[in-house]
Amino acid sequence: MSAVMGQMVQVRQLERVSGGDICDSFKAQTNIGPLFVKRCSAQDGGLLQAEFRNLQLLRAAAEICVPEAISVSFHENDTLLVMEYLDLAGNTHDGQLGRRLAALHRHTGPGYGLEYDNYIGRTFQRNTAEETWSAFWWNNRLLPQLQMVCDQGFSNAIEKYILPLNEVCQRLLHNHQPVPSLLHGDLWSGNKGYLEDATPVIFDPACYFGDRETDVALTELFSGFDAEFYREYQQAWPLDEGYPHRKLLYNLYHLLNHLNLFGEFYLASCLQQIQYLQPLK
């Protein structure tokens, strides 16, 4: 880290802080000020390497405050990600976040996907380029999650829906070719915060270029965003016709991922979402 910073960095105090269930998180008091450090096992090191690149990607867009990723280092038993420490003690200002998210989505890529794969939580997330949005969403998002669900022992409940869901995906997305927006990828309320002056901050991204509606859809799935967020986003860039149907398909991805990560508790939610989608086939 000292080599990256261009000066000697000395840790004077290390305080464990909350920061998710995959990594240990610390506030490091150093001679150059506080830093935020995430530590995971060497086996999970790819998660932090991908997070480092994701944070750089969002920060380069310069539309929403994102902690600066300083270094990622690999050791025999663990991996460390060091980033800027931000004091997220401010009051919520979701309207400003809505405006800034719309501005972030104006940053576009050459196509759907990303030049590297990453993770959604602990789950590997493939970002292989596809010419059509429907192909990307099916091949890189829904199908891998459905296959993992079946491998986890839920095939009796889920496998019969794979072909019908493919039909739904083609039906809803066949003529939907959105601009490939830069996405946060995992924008739920636990991945946002506010500085003391109410500046919104986002973190823990799972970036790729795709339909901006996927970011907005996830904010609705687990709630935690107020009406001002949606009002300001819509004023900045109205969502396309058909969004209420497509968001069901987009949020199924996250529900399936929760089923894969956390188990049977999420099976009923997945089956309910699939039932909502069946009439759209």
Domain extents in the chain: 2-84, 94-280
pLDDT tens for each residue of 84-136: 999 998 788 899 999 999 999 999 999 999 999 999 999 999 999 999 999 99
Provide the β-strand partners of residue 15. 27
CATH architecture of the domain covering 2-84: 2-Layer Sandwich (3.30)
Contact 19, 88 (CB under 8 A): no
pTM for this model (two decimals): 0.95
Does the structure show a pLDDT above 50 at 3? no
Q: Is the C-alpha dihedral spanning 130, 135, 137, 140 positive or negative?
A: negative
Q: Please, are residues 163 and 150 in contact by the beta-carbon 8 Å criterion?
A: no
Q: Is 186 a catalytic residue?
A: yes
Question: How far is Cα 36 from Cα 85, in angstroms, rounded to an integer?
Answer: 5
Per annotation, catalytic residue among 186, 204, 211, 215: 186
Place of tokens 């066949």: 174
- Determine the Cα–Cα distance for residues 44 and 74; give it in Å rounded to an integer: 10
Tens digits of per-residue pLDDT, 188-202?
999 999 999 999 999
For residue 1, what pLDDT is reported?
52
Q: How far apart are the C-alpha atoms of 90 and 258, rounded to whole Å?
A: 29
Q: Which CATH architecture has domain 94-280?
A: Alpha-Beta Complex (3.90)
